[in-house]
Chain A
Amino acid sequence: MSSRGGKQKKGNVTSEQEEEEQPLQAVLVADSFNRRFFPISKDQPRALLPLGNVAMIDYTLEFLTSTGVQETFVFCCWMSNKIKDHLLKSKWCRPTSPNVVHIITSDLYRSLGDVLRDVDAKNLVRNDFILVYGDVVSNIDVSQALQEHRHRRKVDKNISVMTMVFKESSPGHKTRCEEDDVIVAMDSKSKRFSMVTDEFEIRHDLLDCHISICSPQVAELFTDNFDYQTRNDFVRGILVNEEILGNQIHLYVTQDGYGARVSNLQMYDSVSLDMVRRWVYPLTPEANFTDQQGQGCTHSRHNVYRGAEVSLGHGSQMEENVLIGRDTSIGANCHISNSVIGNNCTIGDNVVLDRAHMWNNVHVSSNVEIHQSVVCDGAVVKEAVRLNKQCVLAYNVVIGPNLSLPEGTVVSMHHPEEEEEDDDDEFLSDDQEVGHSKDKTRQKAFNPAEVGPEGKGYIWKASMNDTEDEELAQCLWGLVLNPDPESDSESEASEESQDRTFQLEVLGTLQRGLEENIVCDNLVLEINSLKYAYNITLKEVMQILTRVVLEYPFQQQGTQLTTLQYTGSLLPLLKTWSPVFKNYIKRAQDHLDCLSAVEELFLEQDTHQTAMVKVLMKMYQLEILEEEAILKWFSTGATNDKSRQLRKNQGVMRRMSLWRKESEEDESSEEGECGR
């Protein structure tokens, strides 16, 4: 393909034809790799959750098919069996389907990165492909973007590796997910996603549709950089390395069309309503695009949709934007607006539903009020229950009677503690294991104060074990509820934790290097890639490296080392890793930074202060540190009492002069004694 660039016209034409003959491929990741929809997604994978009574993955597949994708690879991990069953039954796997769907399952996928690495390993894609998640709802026509992408690749000789599709929408728009609010800097002329160019615009009015057009190189890049987990990692990596590797990412901004990813319940709520309000035309509820028997429904004024065999009691009103699935019966004097009700539900008299999302087989008794809540399959809501905003009733929960659930309550049949037990292998657990865990659940009594006298279910609290998206996992509904007093601290915290993880990674790398006898050059390479992965500055890298090396003996042999033992084990290490240091410590400033890191460490470890001299000396001998730098540090660096004291204790100056003499002698005697 790359040879195509500068050929004559004829060659170009044939290659174009070849290109057209290549079927368009897509990679659909039917797993979210997070737990935002827990506890709902404990029983059903997210891609199969119904949106407007149709599984979300069907929207994604329909979107792909309508853009002309002829081959789709569906990657599933969590509850892959269910997804597989669903797809095999759907119209996508009929022999006449224009879009051939291959289902690839593995329990080992833990991130988008794993999936793409597998794509590369199995050599699945031959040409540019579309990458989407299984919960993207869209009617955007990406063929224009695809054309632009191909054109760019032809002109620039494959420099552009990815085109991301964005939709214009003003900040604060309902379908903008508060969590991935993006600010994008792009080159105004070439639509290049950029960090620094001469002329660029910064836009905050874009919505990330999570649709990207990728070239096969993307999969390769994921393989090359094993630390890329998400698309964000990838984008960051590409941008940071733009100068070196010459890869670029472009944007495609569309004004019309609809594209959103259902990343939390807040989004679920708004996408579902948009769907009923026909923003996603032609993917409207009455279109029955899944071609399932009996799924059709009629559409009438004010966006009221009714499936087959719906019965509506006397005096009941369906105000606007209501979708009612087949065989559902609704009692008298009900008030329903902006709601989606699934198949086979029964709803009693005098029920008020506003922005309620009910799935299949839900029973609601009389005098119930539900506001902006999700009620999953098989749930039962007894008499006179009131669900306030943003409640979730997971599968088969029973609530009531006579109860008012406070805002944001999540009720599930899974006990929160059971969750903690099988927390570690959450990704591995499939149906079998879920059954298993049910057995081992200690039978706990339901709390009538929480779920009502006849209720069944536990109030769900997200487990705190999650390190990274702890805060996120807690709120199914997204961050909107508590807007941002803590966002600053949060980001700081995450930065700090990033440093910390980087430090651990460096430690791991060095350890491995020692065990497996890896050449220092390779170690440097690995540390460099870590640096990019965690977005660490060079200065920090050096400081952390120094710290890691100096702490290494403690790590290995515990903190109860005597100073002698410590220096004994440290000095050889310094010698082995001196090339690594030399790689990072080049300018005068680097020397000072390194010294301050050393100082900092020994301030913490005051029992080993005497070792510092030896360390410094060794570093000097190994030519890691320069003499002037040490002297300069000594004369200027004293910032506080403690460090001043440290210097005094050591009498570094005295020693320094001593070494100087020694080293001069060394030089004259042609490195007579190296190890001293």
Chain B
Amino acid sequence: MPGADKETDLTERIEAFLADLKRGGSGTGPLRGSGEMARETTYLLRRITAQARWSSAGDLMEIIRNEGRRMTAAQPSETTVGNMVRRVLKIIREEYARSRGSSEETEQQESLHKLLTAGELSEENFRQHFVHLKANVIEAINELLTELDGTTDNIAMQALEHIHSNEVIMTVGRSRTVEAFLKDAARKRKFHVIVAECAPFCQGHEMATGLSKVGIETTVIADAAIFAVMSRVNKVIIGTQTVLANGGLRAVNGTHSVALAARHHSTPLIICAPMFKLSPQVFTTIFYPFPGSFSYCLPVLREILSKVNVHCPVFDYVPPELITLFISNIGGNAPSYIYRLMSELYHPEDHKL
């Protein structure tokens, strides 16, 4: 039975993906950037759309939501996975609305009046069957994939608008997006980059070698020297792991201190973040550090290890008021505009999977 075969193949793929997610970052699994993660998630969701059994948009959304829940639970710190699930859900909604003939604009628009009158009909509406829905959804997901493929280039293209000759730029750790951004600017302009090494993982070293290879004047500094060097810096350009709904960041540890130093010296803080990093999560007062692998610290601490507790938070929270500008693949935005982007990208009902 080919149908059953397909299904087991699908579940196998999902399980493999989940296992990969769980082991992500341990060194045993393949280490991937969030861009790649987003792409893989979308591929998998496309496969689910194509191969799973569903008759109406409601079924499909339910299936995707379930799988999405499992995926996000497998690696809570990887928000891109959840984001892509939400994007796909949104696509399904739109395609469904289009098939029904109602324009997506009207559905999109929210008003107090609508909220009060609409009631519970949202899920009911997805029961209708359309022949072309599947093809349309897959087509739309393909568009999303091409968008994902182009994100880094789109961001890098804007580099010349932000980086001028003889500027001193500071960055923290390693971000593929920022690296591409700086390299693109280096084609036309001469400037100086200072890289904070970002101990204990020291991704900054990798970043610096990458930059110096294309002929950018690069200096690596210790994390402790960030504040001292900041007075010389014209701009701080960093990447992030997640952009939160309030316009804040969840970024690599040490980013907060950079942001504070930048604020103290009134240096603009620019964040390069593709749209898929935008997450509807919000963190307010209480924020837990996200501890990751400690094993990297082991060589240093081997001697006293038995009597010592090591805390090694991996992420920092940076509040939105410290950020000057977000550069995403669709242009530059202020942190205060993030909420608007959020409502364009995700349907409010999908914020919680």
A258 located at the interface, meaning its Cβ lies under 8 Å from any Cβ of chain B in the complex? yes
**B299 touching A277, Cβ below 8 Å:** no
Q: Does the CB pair B299–A255 fall under 8 Å?
A: yes
Determine if A300 is an interface residue (Cβ-Cβ < 8 Å).
Answer: yes
Residues of A within 8 A of B309 (CB): 277, 320-321
Looking at chain B's contact residues, the main secondary structure is helix
B306 & A256 in contact (Cβ 8 Å cutoff): no
**CB-contact partner of A173 in B15, B24, B28, B306, under 8 A:** B306
Contacts of A596 in B (CB 8 A): none
Using known A-B contacts A96-B8, A173-B306, A301-B289, determine if residue A255 contacts B23 with beta carbons closer than 8 Å: no
Q: A139-B28, A256-B298 are in contact. Are A282 and B305 (CB under 8 A)?
A: no
A-B contact count (CB 8 A): 75
Whether a CB of chain A sits under 8 angstroms from the CB of B11 is: yes
How far is A303 from B311 in the complex, measured between Cα atoms in Å? 9
Tell yes or no: A659 within 8 A of B by CB.
no
20 CB-based A-B contacts, threshold 8 Å = A66-B23, A66-B26, A66-B29, A96-B12, A139-B295, A141-B28, A168-B302, A172-B306, A174-B306, A255-B302, A256-B299, A277-B294, A278-B291, A281-B26, A281-B294, A282-B23, A282-B24, A299-B291, A303-B291, A321-B309
CA of A257 to CA of B297, assembled, Å: 10
Binding site for B on A (CB under 8 A): 65-67, 94-98, 139, 141, 143, 168-170, 172-175, 255-258, 277-279, 281-282, 287-289, 296, 299-301, 303, 320-321
Question: Is B25 part of the contact surface with A, judged by Cβ < 8 Å?
Answer: yes
User: Which residue of A is nearest B8, CB measured?
Assistant: A95
Of B15, B25, B27, which is within 8 A of A96 by CB? Answer: B15
CB–CB A281/B306 < 8 A: no
Interface residues in B, total, Cβ within 8 A: 31
Does the CB pair A278–B294 fall under 8 Å? yes
Is there contact, CB below 8 Å, between B15 and A282? no
Task: Name the distance in Å between B116's Cβ and chain A's nearest Cβ.
Answer: 35
Say yes or no: B303 contacts A282, CB within 8 Å.
no
**How many angstroms from the CA of A296 to the CA of B76 in the assembled complex?**
12
Q: Which residue of the partner chain B has the closest CB to A140? A: B28
Interface SS of chain A: loop
Question: Which residues on the B side are within 8 Å of A141 (C-beta)?
Answer: 27-28
Kindly list chain A residues whose C-beta atoms are within 8 Å of the C-beta of B302: 168-170, 255
Cα distance, A300 to B197, chains bound together (Å):
27
Q: Mark B8-42, 1 if CB is under 8 A from A, else 0.
A: 10011001100100111111110000000000000
How close is A616's CB to chain B, nearest CB, in angstroms?
63
Contact call A256/B296, Cβ cutoff below 8 A: yes
Query: Which B positions have Cβ atoms within 8 angstroms of A?
Result: 8, 11-12, 15-16, 19, 22-29, 73, 288-289, 291-296, 298-299, 302-303, 305-306, 309-310
Is B303 a contact of A98 with CB atoms below 8 Å?
A: no
**Residue in B closest to A142 when the chains form the complex, CB atoms:** B28
Q: Are A258 and B11 in contact (CB under 8 A)?
A: no
Measured CB to CB, the closest approach of chain B to A321, in angstroms, equals 8
Contact of A170 among B23, B288, B294, B303 (CB under 8 A): B303
Q: Nearest 7 pairs between A and B by C-beta?
A: A174-B306, A282-B26, A96-B15, A281-B293, A66-B28, A256-B295, A256-B298
* A67-B28, A174-B306, A255-B299 known; A296+B73 contact, CB < 8 A: yes
Which chain B residues border A95 with CB–CB below 8 Å? 8
Task: Select A281's contact among B289, B295, B299, B305, beta carbons within 8 Å.
Answer: B295
Tell me, in angstroms, the Cα distance from A95 to B11 when the chains sit together. 10
Residue of B nearest to A258 (CB): B295
What residue of chain B has the Cβ atom nearest to residue A96's Cβ? B15
Cβ contacts under 8 Å, A258 to chain B: 295
B contact residues around A170 at 8 Å (CB): 302-303
CA distance A94 to B305 in the complex (A): 38
Q: Which residue of B lies closest to A99 (CB)?
A: B19
